[in-house]
Amino acid sequence: MDAGHALQAKSLSREFGGFFAVRDVDFTLHRGSIQAVIGPNGAGKSTLFNLLTKHIAPSSGEIFHEGDDVTGLSMPALAKRGVVRSFQISAVFASLTVRQNLELALLRPAGSAWDLLGRVTGKRAIAERADALLERFELGECAESLAGNLSYGRKRVLELATTLALEPRVLLLDEPMAGLGREDIGRVTDLIREVGEGRTILLVEHNMKVVADLADRITVMVRGRILAEGPYDEVSARADVVAAYTGQGHD
Amino acid sequence: MTMILGVPAAVLFGQLLLGLINGAFYAMLSLGLAVIFGMMNIVNFAHGAQYMLGAMTAWLLLTYLGIGYWWALLLVPLMVGASGLLLERFVLRRLYRLDHLYGMLLTFGLALVLQGLLTNAFGSSGQPYSIPAELMGGRNLGFMFLPNYRAWVIAASLLVCLTTWYVIERTRLGAYLRAATENPMLVQAFGIRVPRMIMLTYGAGVGLAALAGVLAAPVYQVGPTMGADLIIVVFAVVVIGGMGSIMGSIVTGFLVGLIEGLTKAFYPELSSTVVFVVMAVVLMVRPAGLFGSKPEQAQNHRQVLDGASTSPRTQTIQFLVMAALFAAAPLVVYPGFMMKAMLFALFACAFNLIAGYGKLVSFGHAMFLGTAGYVSGHAAKSWGLTPELAVLAGTAAAALLGLASGWLAIRRSGIYFAMVTLAFAQMIYFVALQAPFTGGEDGLQAIPRGHLFGLIDLSRPANLYGFVLAIFLGGFYLIMRVVGSPFGLVLRGISDHETRAQSLGLETERFKLVAFTLSAALSGLAGATKAITSQIATLVDVHWSMSGEVLLMTFLGGVGTLFGPVVGAFVVVAMQNYLAALGQWVIVLHGTIFVLCVLIFRRGIVGEASLLLRRWSARPAAAAHPAAALTPHRQPAGH
Amino acid sequence: MTERPAENLAVRTLEAWYGESKVLHGMTFDVRAGEVVTLLGRNGAGKTTTLKAIMGLIERREGSIRLDGAELVAVPPYGVARRGIAFCPEERGIFSSLSVRENLLLPPVVAEGGMGVDRILDLFPNLRERLDSPGTKLSGGEQQMLALGRILRTGARVLLLDEPTEGLAPVIIRQIGRTIETLKTLGFTILLVEQNVAFASGIADRHYVVELGRVVDEIPGPELETRLDALKGYLGL
């Protein structure tokens, strides 16, 4: 497969009890780009996303990462290859502090996750990276708070920071703006653009303004299939795309 | 005489009949468990006790009021079922928003209370309950003799099971139940009072257990302990069948009974363990169970219980203070008590490593304590190993057992993990009961203490105390380091949100397995040392009640806190030592503490104390920065 | 002839939370008896949450929800249903362990005047021949018809429909549309959550535009087509 593609899906399908949430989808995530998948509710965006990150297994089809077939890999194995996802409902380690959340993400890349006797606080490199992330994401003042007690917006920021701690090459963000207020949306948009430098990002997002701001290319899904794909301005102007969203006109 | 595969036909059919009888009770009880679990997500550990209560009530009615079998068959399920209604309304209802494990812990406590109370009142020995006159005698079927009462039990239980199946699968009420199992909120939105329906379901499930108890009264001895061992087998049945379907529970129940009967006929030595072997095989091949459909979902709405952890330096200071205190303790406290308490504390700390930090609550940790005790006792007594080698052998055996059982058990989580570990422990118990080297009911006696490294004589009290102290402190220090290590952080992360940990590239199952094995090894260390110290290794240490005790110690002291299990172990051991005169009341007390811990005291002694301390010291700061308040944000109840 | 009440369902400054995240920030709107009213807005705006909050399916809600003057904000979901409000959820909520017939007969009758099963099957003939198959073996469109059909039996007069056209083929959407029109002529009061603007404009008397948990605009039914550009702005297109 083409090595210029960060992730590629070939005739990917997923069936739930007779219902095809994703049907025969060919999809390419281009290396170095920010792409978005959009579509009305129930279009299969989340399922496609979960398939690409191996959160669920496909019923049929194949997935390639940088040209290698990764269809059979587990989520941790994919993460080790640098493909990391975030979750729609903020996924933080609630009973750990903010700093510990970051340290936990940093342990594996530093080769320390299996250290049974050392002290986390003793790992200099990890501490420095954690400090840098805390500063960059403006989480310094709540570094010692339990992540479970953060505000919703802060949790989303922490999740993004945790994901980035892995220095992923491919970043998949599942509705990063869900549940955020207006100000937080602006901040998180800026953060995503910033971290997008030199990385490949795929987002599933409902907020069209965010998608227009961030994405180089968008993919429109309707009823489990891909309806349109291309640059935002071009695709969003297409009559069939507007129709899919507003239900106007015919199929 | 006809022989089938080397077994006389009459024996074979006789065992098959016995198997069917047992299967009938497995089916009725697992059916009730499945219905209750489906509606309430509570594993009703008290189910065995409620079955026993049914049998006991029937016996009481007969003995004291002269009310006979047939009336009991009608009255007892109603009476015991009514107690279930009250229990749901006033106790269990408070637990629905909590982790499912709390329901299991609370009903475990209730089972202890019931069993203890009835033992106090009527003694632990079984009472005979005579077969009603109408069902005396039996008939010769040509190939075997069939007692009438047994035929009746099988027919009645089949009728009860199939009626239950019919009500649930074929009636309108059943449709409500099935729908509420899938989506209780939507069913409420249709105008159905789901909370009341849940209460009635629990009452019905409990009544079913009581009915089984009445049916069982003339078959088995009626006594307060008759439900305890049965419920563990029923848990294994539930794991084998999966809790997905009603018919699945019935079929699995009878099937397991028949398998037991066949085993008894062909290879009696295996008959009491075969159900657990089947469970292990099912876990390997089909982890969700034979009829199970949906694997349990990860629960991510756990409360945030513990606050900021203490710094390594504070911990080290606390550790040194504890070491000094314990070293000086024999000056004021009876050393025998100290040694016993320290070893149980180590056991509880090892348990806490996996239950508190890994959120994998095992109900079978006694298997590691007891196995290590037997192995080290045997090594010291029969092989003449020096104590340190004997302890090492015991620890290694527990670690191996932990690796094997953990490899199977971590395929499930939450309540299923609890049931699987409980079942494995029961299997080990039966092995210990039958294996030649354990001494059966007597246990291993007169284990030599020997000379440590061949030099230090452990029969001298001071040496022995030093040995135990060193083992406890070493084990505790190791646990302390592991909890504070990168590995410990990963473990806590996994227990918070396993999928997220996987998405960070962590192979969570391996971490859980290593933690479980480590916990087993350290439990073994405690058990092995205990055998050398006390010079005996008995069935007590592998019995399920020991697994319950370590749960109690840990939850009472504070699960997920470093020193909580130590405090809990000292309290429980002190209770046993100083309240020994109370006899069975100690069990009632244990059970009550369980119930109280779950209802009002979930952080345990150390957890609650440190929370108070933090609130007290954080008060001025919190007033200045309200956002930094330490209390977890809790929603008021919706309705 | 008795005078009809000015409003059937009156929602005032309704607030609701999912866990710690506040989703509704003071929804205020009315649905008058016999009206079809839609809530429009993009995903995550709080439309579904509004319906769930009315039903009491949200853990925490504040404000006021009145049905013919009676306050519902503290009433549990089964109580709301018994006062004559029926809910058809977005995910349809067909019970997989129940047959189509059982699904159809599940919601208890809360008032007189509900439709008979035969009448419902006349509205949705596809269901008639599938009555004994398991609920989840139906196609998406049939599931939607079942979800809609089963709340018509109960005698409820106020229907809350959450995106009944979602993910369905145009021919099915038209059938659902005709059904809703029939229901309107029968005097049902309908609160509809929709993303499909074309569908909504053909059916509703009025539209409320929802953004970030508030009503930001009210559009009379006939004006929707002319104000499509403004609406696209709201929807973020």
pLDDT (tens, 9 = 90+) of chain C, 237 residues, equals 444 445 689 999 999 988 777 889 999 999 999 999 999 987 778 899 999 999 999 988 999 999 999 999 999 999 999 999 999 998 889 998 899 999 999 999 998 888 999 999 998 988 998 899 888 778 778 889 999 999 999 999 999 999 998 777 778 888 899 999 999 999 999 999 987 888 888 889 999 999 889 999 999 887 877 787 777 766 655
Please report, to the nearest 10 degrees, the dihedral formed by the alpha carbons of residues C129, C134, C137, C139 taken in order: 50
Q: Mean pLDDT lowest for which of A243-247, B92-96, B430-434?
A: A243-247
Report the pLDDT value the prediction gives residue B623, as an integer from 0 to 100. 41
User: CB contact, 8 Å: B172 with chain C?
Assistant: yes
Question: What backbone torsions phi and psi does residue B208 show, to the nearest 5 degrees?
Answer: -65, -45
User: CB contact, 8 Å: C132 with chain B?
Assistant: no
How far, in Å, CA of B252 to CA of B242, rounded? 9
Q: Are residue A137 and residue A155 in the same domain, yes or no?
A: no
Q: Give the closest residue to B94 by CA, choosing from B37, B36, B43, B42.
A: B42
Q: Are residue B139 and residue B82 in the same domain, yes or no?
A: yes
Tell me the residue type at C40. L
Contact state of B302 with A94 under an 8 Å Cβ cutoff: yes
Find the CATH number of the domain harbouring B114. Answer: 1.10.3470
Q: Are residue A24 and residue A87 in the same domain, yes or no?
A: yes
DSSP state of B636: P
Q: Are residue B346 and residue B232 in the same domain, yes or no?
A: no
DSSP string, B207-262: HHHHHHHHHHTTTS-B-TTHHHHHHHHHHHHHHHH-SS-HHHHHHHHHHHHHHHHH
Is residue B182 over pLDDT 60? yes
pLDDT digits (tens, 9 = 90+) for B253-269: 999 999 999 998 888 88
- The residues facing A220 across adjacent strands are A38, A228
Nearest CA in chain B to A166: B504
Tokens of A147: 């992540």
Q: Give the closest residue to B107 by CA, choosing from B593, B594, B556, B543.
A: B594
Q: Are residue A36 and residue A74 in the same domain, yes or no?
A: yes
CA distances from B60 to A97, B56, B126 (A): 57, 6, 13
Tokens of A42: 């129930």
**Which residue, of B285, B305, B338, is where some domain finishes?**
B285
B630 contact residues in A (CB cutoff 8 A): 149
Q: Are residue A67 and residue A138 in the same domain, yes or no?
A: no
Three-state secondary structure readout of B254-311: HHHHHHHHHHHHHCHHHCCCHHHHHHHHHHHHCCCCCCCCCCCCCCCCCCCCCCCCCC
Contact state of A247 with C96 under an 8 Å Cβ cutoff: no
Q: Are residue A32 and residue A102 in the same domain, yes or no?
A: no
**Which residue, of A149, A184, A214, is where some domain finishes?**
A149
In 10 A of CB B130, how many CB atoms?
12
Is residue B229 over pLDDT 70? yes
Question: What backbone torsions phi and psi does residue A10 show, to the nearest 5 degrees?
Answer: -120, 120
**Which residue, of B542, B563, B588, is where some domain finishes?**
B542
How far, in Å, CA of A192 to CA of B585, rounded? 63
Q: Are residue B271 and residue B331 in the same domain, yes or no?
A: no
How far, in whole angstroms, is CA B57 from its chain's centroid? 25
User: CB contact, 8 Å: B188 with chain C?
Assistant: yes
The residue range of the domain holding A113 is 95-149
Instruction: List residues of chain B with CB under 8 Å from any CB of chain A.
Output: 302, 304-308, 312, 478, 481-482, 484-490, 492-493, 495-497, 499-508, 511, 518, 628, 630, 632-633
In 10 A of CB A65, how many CB atoms?
22
Length of chain C in residues, anyone?
237
Q: Are residue B80 and residue B147 in the same domain, yes or no?
A: yes
Residue B94 lies in a domain: yes
How far, in Å, CA of A188 to CA of B256, rounded? 57
Q: Using CB atoms, which residue from B312, B481, B500 is nearest to A121?
A: B312
3-state secondary structure of A149: helix
Residue B591 lies in a domain: no
**Which residue, of A149, A173, A189, is where some domain finishes?**
A149
Q: Are residue A198 and residue A83 in the same domain, yes or no?
A: yes
Length of chain A in residues, anyone?
251
User: CB contact, 8 Å: C108 with chain B?
Assistant: yes
Alpha carbons within 13 angstroms on the beta-carbon side of residue B461 total 8
Looking at the 3D structure of chain A, how many domains does it have?
A: 2
3-state helix, strand, coil in chain C (%, to 5): 35, 25, 40
Residue to test with chain C: of A41, A174, A184, A246, most C Cβ within 10 A: A246
Q: Are residue A123 and residue A223 in the same domain, yes or no?
A: no
Q: Contact at 8 Å (CB) between B339 and B473? A: no
**Which residue, of A130, A149, A168, is where some domain finishes?**
A149
Domains of chain C from N-terminus onward: 7-232 (3.40.50.300)
CA distances from B397 to A83, B351, B378 (A): 41, 17, 12
Residue B420 lies in a domain: yes
Q: Are residue A211 and residue A105 in the same domain, yes or no?
A: no
Q: Are residue A26 and residue A84 in the same domain, yes or no?
A: yes
pLDDT digits (tens, 9 = 90+) for B296-349: 444 444 444 444 467 788 889 999 999 999 999 999 999 999 999 999 999 999
Nearest CA in chain C to B187: C107
DSSP string, C129-156: TTTTSBGGGS-HHHHHHHHHHHTTTT--
C42 contact residues in A (CB cutoff 8 A): 206-208
Q: Contact at 8 Å (CB) between B10 and B143? A: yes
pLDDT digits (tens, 9 = 90+) for B96-133: 888 888 888 899 999 999 999 999 898 888 889 989 99
Find the CATH number of the domain harbouring A205. Answer: 3.40.50.300
Question: Alpha helices of B435-543 — where are they, by DSSP H?
Answer: 461-484, 486-496, 498-503, 508-534
Contact state of C96 with A181 under an 8 Å Cβ cutoff: no
Q: Are residue B217 and residue B159 in the same domain, yes or no?
A: yes
- The residues facing C99 across adjacent strands are C134
Q: Are residue B337 and residue B462 in the same domain, yes or no?
A: yes
Q: Are residue A100 and residue A222 in the same domain, yes or no?
A: no
In 10 A of CB A190, how many CB atoms?
12
Report the pLDDT value the prediction gives residue A67, as an integer from 0 to 100. 86
Residue B564 lies in a domain: no
ipTM attached to this prediction? 0.91
C72 contact residues in B (CB cutoff 8 A): none
How far, in Å, CA of B266 to CA of B11, rounded? 10
DSSP string, A49-112: HHHHTTSS--SEEEEEETTEE-TT--HHHHHHTTEEE--SS----TTSBHHHHHHHHHHTTTT-
Question: What subunits touch chain C, counting only 3 or more CB pairs under 8 A?
Answer: A, B
Q: Are residue A155 and residue A238 in the same domain, yes or no?
A: yes
- The residues facing B222 across adjacent strands are B127
Show Cβ contacts of residue B183 under 8 Å, excluding neighbours closer than 6 positions: C93, C95
Question: What subunits touch chain B, counting only 3 or more CB pairs under 8 A?
Answer: A, C
The residue range of the domain holding B56 is 3-285
Q: Kindly provide the b/e burial profile for residues B598-636, where b requires at least 16 CB atoms within 10 angstroms of the residue's own CB.
A: beebbbbbbbbbbbeeeeeebeeebeeeeeebbeeeeee
**Which residue, of B542, B559, B586, is where some domain finishes?**
B542
The Cα angle at residue B536 between residues B420 and B379, in degrees rounded to 5 = 80
Q: Are residue B277 and residue B319 in the same domain, yes or no?
A: no
Residue B275 lies in a domain: yes
Question: Alpha helices of chain A — where are they, by DSSP H?
Answer: 45-52, 75-80, 98-107, 124-136, 152-165, 182-195, 208-214, 232-237, 239-246
- The residues facing A228 across adjacent strands are A220
Q: Contact at 8 Å (CB) between C24 and C60? A: no
3-state secondary structure of B384: coil
- The residues facing B37 across adjacent strands are none
How far, in Å, CA of C100 to CA of C70, rounded? 34
For the segment B383-392, the average pLDDT, to the nearest whole number, is: 93
Please report, to the nearest 10 degrees, the dihedral formed by the alpha carbons of residues B512, B517, B522, B525 taken in order: 170
Contact state of B189 with C81 under an 8 Å Cβ cutoff: yes
Report the pLDDT value the prediction gives residue A249, as an integer from 0 to 100. 42
Contact state of B185 with C96 under an 8 Å Cβ cutoff: no
Question: What backbone torsions phi and psi does residue C220 show, to the nearest 5 degrees?
Answer: -65, 145
Q: Are residue B338 and residue B279 in the same domain, yes or no?
A: no
Report the pLDDT value the prediction gives residue A183, as an integer from 0 to 100. 74
Q: Are residue B320 and residue B449 in the same domain, yes or no?
A: yes
B188 contact residues in C (CB cutoff 8 A): 56-57, 76-78, 81
Q: Contact at 8 Å (CB) between C215 and C207? A: no
Looking at the 3D structure of chain B, how many domains does it have?
A: 2
Distance from CA of A244 to the nearest CA of B (A): 29
Q: Are residue B48 and residue B132 in the same domain, yes or no?
A: yes
Residue B166 lies in a domain: yes
Show Cβ contacts of residue C41 under 8 Å, excluding neighbours closer than 6 positions: C47, C209, C210, C211, C234, C235
pLDDT digits (tens, 9 = 90+) for B445-458: 989 998 888 888 88
How far, in Å, CA of C195 to CA of C136, rounded? 24
For the segment A87-111, the average pLDDT, to the nearest whole number, is: 89
Report the pLDDT value the prediction gives residue B630, as an integer from 0 to 100. 33
3-state secondary structure of C207: strand
Report the pLDDT value the prediction gives residue C222, as an integer from 0 to 100. 78
Q: Are residue A232 and residue A145 in the same domain, yes or no?
A: no
Q: Are residue B435 and residue B382 in the same domain, yes or no?
A: yes
Q: Are residue B275 and residue B195 in the same domain, yes or no?
A: yes
DSSP string, C35-91: -EEEEE--TTSSHHHHHHHHHT-SSEEEEEEEETTEE-TTS-HHHHHHTTEEEE-TT
Tokens of C111: 């008032």
3-state secondary structure of A132: helix
Report the pLDDT value the prediction gives residue B620, as an integer from 0 to 100. 55
Mean of pLDDT over chain A: 85
